[in-house]
Structure 1
């Protein structure tokens, strides 16, 4: 969550030249897949999007501070859920179709979040909003 620290909602939609996404879009894309994998971990079978672009929001920026804060909170709650799942049996099969274990799903989720966290840090640098205040 530190990668978002100090970023004002008005800046979350900043999109540098030749950059396909804003921080806002990346955050929502991360939430989409985080929720997807957490659903598997809860024993559900989520519907995979037909196209990758279906996991990206159309909106470039949040509409107000409340939407930004609520979305950050949603992402944070998902991270906590993943952390709680990591305390359980990592060898338990959760995706029977592809024979993926809890550990496999969590590894995929964390790799995905890590990849996009790096992109967020880079975008923040490019829009002049880096480093976070506590660094």
Structure 2
């Protein structure tokens, strides 16, 4: 196996989670709409807001990677929802499914040998697929940790 494929495989493991942080699928599988909308004193966000932020961010990064006509979003307004709770369980499940789909899409981009991991995107400012994959992994790990803390504070996580 060559070095390029080894790197792609390690990026895939990082994006899937489970090495140093809880895989998204396991963490999110039992969250209810009620739990997702609960507030915790002195924290500025709910689980729902974190999930939606993760969904919006991974979708934005994928859009950047795949669309040469990408338009930058406005920080923080376009990345954080105002609503503290999902409308219902279906909305929550849809958000979770989109996060998982986004991670799988990034894995497909990383695993495609036709995609140069090191070549800067022509429409960017030096960003590469490698950098964007690492950003998705780091962002997911960071906010996954926050969701675990919130779930523990709410008494819904072991």
Match of 2:111 in 1: 87
Match of 1:25 in 2: 49
Per the TM alignment, residue 57 of structure 1 is displaced from its structure 2 partner at its CA by 0.3
Number of corresponding residues: 131
TM-score after normalising by structure 1: 0.88
Range with greater deviation from structure 2 (96-105 or 120-129): 96-105
- Quick one: distance in 1 between partners of 2:120 and 2:67? 10
- Quick one: distance in 1 between partners of 2:64 and 2:97? 21
Per the TM alignment, residue 30 of structure 1 is displaced from its structure 2 partner at its CA by 0.8
Change (3 A) 1:32 1:95: farther
Give runs of aligned pairs for residues 1-135 of structure 1, distance below 5 A: 1=24, 2-88=26-112, 89-94=116-121, 96-131=123-158
TM-score after normalising by structure 2: 0.76
- Quick one: distance in 1 between partners of 2:84 and 2:156? 17
- Quick one: distance in 2 between partners of 1:124 and 1:101? 34
Structure 1, unpaired ranges of 5+ = none
Q: Is the 8 A contact 1:26 1:116 kept in 2?
A: yes
Change (3 A) 1:11 1:95: farther
Per the TM alignment, residue 96 of structure 1 is displaced from its structure 2 partner at its CA by 4.1
- Quick one: distance in 1 between partners of 2:118 and 2:76? 28
Structure 2, unpaired ranges of 5+ = 1-23
Deviation digits for residues 81-123 of structure 1 (CA, Å, limit 9, x no counterpart): 0111111331232254311110011111211111111100000
